[in-house]
Amino acid sequence: MSLEPFKRYRETVFEKLQKAFRQEKEIAIASKWVANAIAHQGWIYTSGTGHSHMLAEEIFYRAGGFARVIPILDPDLMLHKDASGSTEVERREGYAKTLFQPYTISSKDVFIIASNSGRNSVSVEMAQIAQEKGAKVIVITNYAHSKAVDSRHSSGMKLFQVSDIFLDTFGEIGDAAINLDGLHTNVGATSTVVGAALLNAIMVQAAALALENGVVPEVFNSSNSNEGESHNETLISKYKAEVKIL
């Protein structure tokens, strides 16, 4: 007897999570870079276009998340302003340079960027700029999809090719994973759930490494807990000048 569709999706996600978490070497290296950034008063920069911007937000101002996180969130690359328009913008060469203008990313920092396809110009150029500034670039991407498509950047490069390390979400080509009779395209994307799990795993491991090295990382609490509000206000006051959107 075949599984109900939601159970098929559940099993598919479980399978992809198991594969993703076998990337122990990559998780360890990425975690070490994040821990080093925290230890040296560096920043964790994050970015992503389209739905991948959710991973940039995932570790920003988050209960249990590091305070020293700067997401590069551009409304023109997100969905709430002009969803279809963001698809055009993420293909625009030269746009990434304007996104980095307000920031002073350096060799003390890490830059984490997510893209399911890894083919669009903005993501490729953002990774290139971060590398030029000396930051370690950590990419979360769907390797199978990325290999199956052409780059939209004039260099011919895709995001995993301009990373210092990349983690695979093991998604289907096209992201949606579940086929249903009578529907010509799949449903049930997996990139967000797997990408968020990998990203949080890196942060948890980085926190442990920092503590092992005698560094107590600054971490946000839940603002909805009894003690969280005052704790967070202290961190917001400390970093508001550097992270304008706090």
Q: What angle do CA 31, 68, 124 make, to 5 degrees?
A: 65
138 lies in some domain: yes
The per-residue pLDDT for 76 is: 86
Phi and psi at 182, nearest 5°, equal: 95, -5
9 lies in some domain: no
Residues with Cβ < 8 Å from 166, sequence gap 6 or more? 26, 138, 139, 140, 141, 143, 159, 160
**Partner residues linked to 167 by β-bridges:** 140
The whole-angstrom separation of Cα 14 and Cα 172 is 14
Domain of residue 124: give its range: 24-222
The per-residue pLDDT for 226 is: 81
The per-residue pLDDT for 1 is: 61
17 lies in some domain: no
Domain at 121, CATH number = 3.40.50.10490
- Can you give the pTM of this predicted structure? 0.96
> 35 to each of 145, 170, 203, how far by Cα in Å?
30, 26, 8
65 lies in some domain: yes
The per-residue pLDDT for 229 is: 87
The per-residue pLDDT for 2 is: 83
73 lies in some domain: yes
The whole-angstrom separation of Cα 126 and Cα 110 is 12
Q: What is the pLDDT along the chain (246 residues), one digit of tens a residue?
A: 689 999 999 999 999 999 999 999 999 999 999 999 999 999 999 999 989 999 999 999 999 999 999 999 988 888 888 899 999 989 999 999 999 999 999 999 999 999 999 999 999 999 999 999 999 999 999 999 999 999 999 999 999 999 999 999 999 999 999 999 999 999 999 999 999 999 999 999 999 999 999 999 999 999 888 888 899 999 999 999 999 999
74 lies in some domain: yes
Strand (E) or helix (H) holding 2: none
> 189 to each of 11, 46, 170, 176, 193, how far by Cα in Å?
13, 21, 11, 4, 9
The whole-angstrom separation of Cα 183 and Cα 37 is 47
The whole-angstrom separation of Cα 30 and Cα 28 is 6
